[in-house]
Amino acid sequence: MLKRKQLLPGLWAFILLSCGQQSETPKGTTEEETKLLIEFTNSMRGEIVTTAHQTDLKLTPTGSFELGEFRQPLETEIDILVDPSKQFQTLLGIGAALTDAAAETFYKLSEENQQRFLEAYYSQDKGIGYSLGRTIIHSCDFSSGSYTYIEEGDAELKTFSIDHDREYRIPFTKKAIEAAGGELTMYASPWSPPAFMKTNNNMLKGGKLKPEFYQPWANYYVKFIEAYEAEGIPIWGLTIQNEPMAVQRWESCIYTAEEERDFLKNYLGPTLEKAGMGDRKIIVWDHNRDLMFQRASVILNDPEAAKYVWGTGFHWYEDWKDGIPMFDNVANVNEVFPDKNLIFTEGCNEGYDPDKIEEVRLAERYGRSMINDFNNGVVAWTDWNILLDETGGPNHVGNLCFAPAHGDTQSGDLLLTNSYYYIGHFSKYIRPGAKRISSVSSANVVLSTAFVNLDGSVVIVAMNQGDEDKDYRVTLGNKTANLQIPAHGIQTLILRS
């Protein structure tokens, strides 16, 4: 007979490996194993970690709990129902962009705060355990100026050199990788081809890639990957173009859906394969949720383009229209193209104002987006600048923004904001390889998502968007726990057997 101790804590790993992407009890799980799963779940004990605005709670342990007798929830109560047998996507990682602005700010911190920064972001024990990173292919707005890796007019890329990045961004990225334990899933994004390759002869203010430079620009990605990997920075994947439908006053380039599709299937995909880089993950769109379904439909319905695509990337800035994020569009892409991945590639709070740095809305935007995006199928989530200075930059066109961490380049000090702690409620406790499991809240005021890690721990994140403390209940299997979450607070519940 199968012994309970033979399965714990390996039962979860067995179930995760058995079920793949399916949201049903894994094939091959016997009735006895299912009973043991229920027994395993019922024996779990939980720890509570809390962050709340206008309190001293910052990823603070705030108690423990046990699952007690089940009771039917009432309509007047807030109940989060968690079902570990219903499993979905596997988490790739959570992290942020290592931009020029972040790197330059980092080296203006005191040595003590440089170490504090690296530990705060990349240590799982003492920090929030980032496992994912985004980098830029030459300049973006969060650079001190526009630059490329070649001399203007060099279509053959004979002058290609990443020497510019060796001053700040490459050593900064190496330190991040080292702090993360020697491994960080890195992907890269371009904001604009060199000016001579574009219809407006300018890296800024939109323009399009001229057809005669499709192949040289595809070669440029290969050169970048080769150069960065020669520096000891593996490039896991890339996006084709940052925000391909936005004419920005900074580095930008426009592609219609058809143009991005054709560049991918006729140039970039084959060029990467020819260079022996066919295993690099290609991400399309890399723009807001509003038009992501249209972009995904055009590209992924073309078999010759779709074969090169790992997934669809998106940002959160579509709420400029009416203040309402379009989370359903993420779910729609996931529903229609379940064989492809979804990755959140960028989000930040715009309009930097130091007097507003701890406003509730900033951190809650992170929590709300992460919960909804994960529940809609996202496998990876990337913040924008991991660090900015006391002005919300540097940014060469004055597009100053908030970051979860700000460094004072005058004093060398480091500030970790509530946004940092909100992100940490996910990244610290939900680890790469975790499976999302079913988690449904009975009230709009308290949002939730849940995952099971490879070590068997169940992690539930709950966020209270309301102005009052809320009593709520968590039902897991056939057991229930009674809990309370502070007003404008976020909690992570970690359950272990």
pLDDT at residue 350, as a whole number: 97
pLDDT score at 32: 66
pLDDT at residue 31, as a whole number: 67
Domain co-membership, 328 together with 452 = no
Query: Are 441 and 311 part of one and the same domain?
Result: no
At residue 160 the predicted structure's pLDDT band, cuts being 50, 70 and 90, is very high
- What tens digit of pLDDT does each residue of 363-395 get? 999 999 999 999 999 999 999 999 999 999 999
Give me the residues paired with residue 64 across strands: 47
Does 338 lie in the same domain as 230?
Answer: yes
Select from 169, 162, 280, 173 the least CA-distant residue to 218: 280
Residues 297 and 211 in one domain: yes
In terms of domains, do 216 and 362 share one? Answer: yes
pLDDT at 30: 62
Q: What is the pLDDT of residue 8?
A: 39
pLDDT at position 294 over 70: yes
The runs of H, that is alpha helices, within 376-482 are: 418-427
Same domain assignment for residues 165 and 243: yes
**209 in the same domain as 62:** no
pLDDT-based confidence at residue 26 (cuts at 50, 70, 90): very low
What confidence category does residue 18 fall into, taking pLDDT thresholds of 50, 70 and 90?
very low
Give 444's contacts (C-beta < 8 A, 6+ positions apart). 465
Report pLDDT digits (tens) over 167-198.
999 999 999 999 999 999 999 999 999 999 99
Q: What percent of the chain has pLDDT over 70?
A: 92
pLDDT band at 6 (very low <50, low <70, confident <90, very high): very low
User: 76 and 11: one domain?
Assistant: yes
- What proportions of the chain, in percent to the nearest 5, are helix, strand and coil? 30, 25, 40
Pairwise CA distance, residues 195 & 201, whole Å:
5
- Domain co-membership, 82 together with 120: no
Residue with more model confidence, 31 or 433 = 433
| Count of the separate structural domains present in the chain | 2
29 or 114, higher pLDDT: 114
Q: Which of 380, 408, 427 is the last residue of a domain?
A: 427
Place 20 in a pLDDT band, splitting at 50, 70 and 90. very low
Q: What is the CATH number of the domain that holds 339?
A: 3.20.20.80
Residue 182 phi, psi (nearest 5)? 95, 0
Least Cα distance to 465 among 81, 78, 153 occurs for 78
In this model, does residue 468 exceed pLDDT 60? yes
**What pLDDT does 497 receive?**
86
Return mean pLDDT, the chain.
93
The whole-number pLDDT of residue 477 equals 82
pLDDT at 43: 80
CA distance between the termini of the chain: 21
Do both 167 and 302 map to the same domain? yes
What's the pLDDT tens digit per position in 59-79? 999 999 999 999 899 999 999
Q: CB atoms < 10 A from the CB of 327, how many?
A: 17
Please identify, among 396, 427, 458, the residue that sits at the C-terminal boundary of a domain.
427
- 188 and 113 share a domain? yes
- DSSP E strands: which ranges in 402-469? 405-407, 414-416, 435-441, 446-452, 458-464
Binned at pLDDT 50, 70 and 90, residue 41 comes out as confident
Q: Which residues pair with 479 in a beta bridge?
A: 69, 476
Active site residues: 243, 346
pLDDT higher than threshold 90 for residue 146: yes
The DSSP secondary-structure symbol of 266 reads: I
Percent of the chain exceeding pLDDT 90 equals 90
426 phi and psi angles, rounded to 5 deg: -95, -60
**What CATH number is given to the structural domain containing 48?**
2.60.40.1180
pLDDT at 37: 64
Distance, CA of 462 to CA of 446 (rounded, Å): 6
- Residue 169 and residue 454: Cα distance in Å, rounded? 33
For the cut 90, the answer to whether the pLDDT of residue 39 exceeds it is no
Where does 337-417 have alpha helices with state H?
Answer: 360-375
**φ, ψ for residue 165 (rounded to 5)?**
-75, -15
Verify that 229 and 130 share a domain, yes or no. Answer: yes
Q: Is the pLDDT at 3 greater than 50, yes or no?
A: no
Owning domain of residue 86: 4-90+435-496
Higher-pLDDT residue of 25 and 219 is 219
Average pLDDT over residues 269-298: 98
311-323 pLDDT, tens digit each: 999 999 999 999 9
Q: Tell me the pLDDT band of 341, cut-offs 50, 70 and 90.
A: very high
Contact 134, 185 (CB under 8 A): no
- As a three-state string, the secondary structure of 31-60 is HHHHHHHHHHHHCCEEEEEEEECCCCCCCE
Query: Does pLDDT of 274 surpass 70?
Result: yes
Strand pairing class (446-452; 414-416)? unpaired
| Cα-based distances in Å from 156 to 190, 202, 496 | 18, 19, 57
Residue 231, helix vs strand vs coil: coil
pLDDT of residue 34: 61
Average pLDDT score over residue span 247-261? 98
Of 408, 427, 446, the residue that ends a domain is 427
pLDDT at 35: 65
Q: Among 278, 162, 146, which Cα is nearest to 220's?
A: 162
Averaged pLDDT for residues 153-175? 98
